[in-house]
Amino acid sequence: MINRRDLLKLTAASALLPPIVGRAATADEPDLRERLLVAQASPVLRRDRLPEPIVIESVELLRHGEQFFVRVRSSDGTEGLALTNKRVIRSIYPMLPALVMPHFVGKDARDLDKLIEGVFVRGHNYKWQGLGFWSCVAWVEFALLDLIGNHVDAPLGELVGDRIRDRSGIYYANGDRESSAGAVVDQLEELIDISGAKAVKFKLGARMRYTDASTKRDFELIPLARKRLGDDVTLFTDANSSFDVPLAIRIGQQLEAHGYGFFEEPVQFDHYDETRAVAEALEVPVAGGEQVYGMRRFQWLIENEALQILQPDLLFFGGFVRSIRVARMAEAAGLKVVPHMSGFGLGSLHVLHYASVVPNSMPYQEFKGDKDGLPYEVIGTGKPLQSIDGEIDIPSGPGLGVRFDPDYMRRFKPVEP
Ligand SMILES: [Mg+2]
């Protein structure tokens, strides 16, 4: 039990603690904390480029088979569309009309920053924080950005800043943990052949665990990929939380010896102290963030030098605006971002628009090709997104810069709440 004297001591001690704002974060970066707080709180949507109110008249969820779209309309009849991630939405779509969509109806889309903050605290929505809730917010947000872009005839990037890139390099990721090291390198060669990619990523460990067999394969694969693909290819690896700290450090040293670009999720994704321990022991940059849902979690990871490359997922983390805030925090700390790309279908479109406007973006964005065969075209080219010589032109048409086949869209019907 605390007596009065102890309580007074505690109170006195807490009075000596430095205030949170402006507190020295690290000895050599005394004002980092303050810069991170400014970066995450500054306006994102450029209201100065939006002279007229854009009143959101409707927010609808449309479905045809396995595919869902969010469609928004403003009072003058302009539309915005966002294709959702079909692997995610089929498990969670009732959250959209129940928790998220009604918050936006009747509001001015120019207040997007505040609407996103508002939907988080609406009712008890904050208790739902996680992949499901934030993905729902992100889909509505991408539809609204498409709508706003259509209103002012500007691509998505120009709604939040100055477009600094018209094209971006891509990397392909290989997800095979079953095949031999040699067979994985065969697959990487094939991906490079079809896309011209200058960077590829492959998996390490056994996904959330490791085994003797997976470790043997990792130690074989790391030098083999470098030897066969050559020094001109940038190599990334993703452990999906497979290792403990000692093994992560041994693996990381191999990555360093063979000049790898980053080491993603070496230890369990929410073991932040362990992630920091790995990062402290290694020179190869540690990447992560695809399973981070809170802005202050990213702040902690940056401030404590646990991650050197930040990977917010533009859908899982709640959309473009929130992910821009992460990029700005990373920039304030001199770090790079490369978003995790969860959106099959048009996920690449989101990360390309992000790269168009984020100065500290890495030179390669993840691209999965057009596996779904979606009937869409990039406005101005008449073709889907294509990697030529390992680069993709970032769409410059209004909003998301793509158009779906009208016959295909007519098959979609509203999902009743
Ligand atoms: Mg990953």
CATH (domain of 262) = 3.20.20.120
- 121 and 177 fall within a common domain: no
Q: How far is the CA of 175 from the centre of ligand 1 (A)?
A: 10
Q: How far is the CA of 342 from the centre of ligand 1 (A)?
A: 9
- 235 and 376 fall within a common domain: yes
Q: How far is the CA of 304 from the centre of ligand 1 (A)?
A: 21
Q: How far is the CA of 69 from the centre of ligand 1 (A)?
A: 25
Q: How many alpha carbons fall within 13 Å on the CB side of residue 226?
A: 16
- 55 and 83 fall within a common domain: yes
Q: What is the pLDDT along the chain (417 residues), one digit of tens a residue?
A: 344 444 444 334 333 333 333 333 455 676 999 999 999 999 999 999 999 999 999 999 999 999 999 999 999 999 999 999 999 999 999 999 999 999 999 999 999 999 999 999 999 999 999 999 999 999 999 999 999 999 999 999 999 999 999 999 999 999 999 999 999 999 999 999 999 999 999 999 999 999 999 999 999 999 999 999 999 999 999 999 999 999 999 999 999 999 999 999 999 999 999 999 999 999 999 999 999 999 999 999 999 999 999 999 999 999 999 999 999 999 999 999 999 998 677 889 999 999 999 999 999 999 988 777 899 999 999 999 999 999 999 999 999 999 999 999 999 999 987
Q: How far is the CA of 149 from the centre of ligand 1 (A)?
A: 30
- 123 and 219 fall within a common domain: no
Q: How far is the CA of 202 from the centre of ligand 1 (A)?
A: 10
- 255 and 347 fall within a common domain: yes
- Determine, yes or no, domain membership for 32: no
Q: How far is the CA of 303 from the centre of ligand 1 (A)?
A: 21
Q: Which residues of 167-204 are buried (b: 16+ CB within 10 A; e: fewer)?
A: ebbbbbbbeebeeebeebbebbeebbeebebbbbbbbb
- Determine, yes or no, domain membership for 1: no
CA–CA distance, 85 with 67 (Å, rounded to integer): 8
- 262 and 305 fall within a common domain: yes
Q: How far is the CA of 203 from the centre of ligand 1 (A)?
A: 9
- Determine, yes or no, domain membership for 5: no
Q: How far is the CA of 9 from the centre of ligand 1 (A)?
A: 46
Burial label for 307, CB within 10 Å (0-12, 13-18, 19+), is buried
- 165 and 149 fall within a common domain: no
Q: How far is the CA of 90 from the centre of ligand 1 (A)?
A: 22
pLDDT score for 28? 63
H-state helical runs in 64-211: 86-92, 95, 101-104, 112-121, 131-152, 181-195
Rounded to an integer, what is the distance from CA 358 to the centroid of its chain?
A: 12
Q: How far is the CA of 380 from the centre of ligand 1 (A)?
A: 33
Query: Beta strand 402-404 with 376-378: parallel, antiparallel or unpaired?
Result: antiparallel
pLDDT score for 210? 98
Q: ∠ at Cα 411 (406, 416), nearest 5°?
A: 125
- Determine, yes or no, domain membership for 309: yes
- Determine, yes or no, domain membership for 128: yes
Tokens of 187: 């697959």
Tokens of 87: 């692997």
Contact 293, 108 (CB under 8 A): no
Q: How far is the CA of 185 from the centre of ligand 1 (A)?
A: 19
- Determine, yes or no, domain membership for 14: no
- 169 and 286 fall within a common domain: yes
Q: Which helix (H) or strand (E) holds 393?
A: strand 391-393
Q: Which is nearest to 286 in space by CA: 252, 246, 312?
A: 252
**Helix axis angle, 181-195 to 212-229, nearest 10°:** 40
Residue whose pair of structure tokens reads 């690896």 in the numeric block? 237
Q: How far is the CA of 148 from the centre of ligand 1 (A)?
A: 31
Query: Beta strand 79-83 with 167-173: parallel, antiparallel or unpaired?
Result: unpaired
Q: How far is the CA of 264 from the centre of ligand 1 (A)?
A: 6
Q: Which residues of 206-234 are buried (b: 16+ CB within 10 A; e: fewer)?
A: beeebeeebbebbeebbebbbeebeeebb
- 143 and 225 fall within a common domain: no
Q: How far is the CA of 245 from the centre of ligand 1 (A)?
A: 18
Q: How far is the CA of 64 from the centre of ligand 1 (A)?
A: 29
- Determine, yes or no, domain membership for 168: yes
Number of domains in the chain: 2
For the whole prediction, is pTM greater than 0.75?
yes
- 110 and 136 fall within a common domain: yes
Q: How far is the CA of 370 from the centre of ligand 1 (A)?
A: 20
Tokens of 175: 């997800």
CATH (domain of 127) = 3.30.390.10
Q: How far is the CA of 341 from the centre of ligand 1 (A)?
A: 9
- 177 and 271 fall within a common domain: yes
- Determine, yes or no, domain membership for 142: yes
pLDDT score for 8? 42
Q: How far is the CA of 29 from the centre of ligand 1 (A)?
A: 30
Tokens of 43: 């306006």
Q: How far is the CA of 364 from the centre of ligand 1 (A)?
A: 15
- 280 and 312 fall within a common domain: yes
Q: ∠ at Cα 139 (107, 394), nearest 5°?
A: 110
Q: How far is the CA of 340 from the centre of ligand 1 (A)?
A: 7
Give me the domain span that covers residue 99: 47-153+406-414
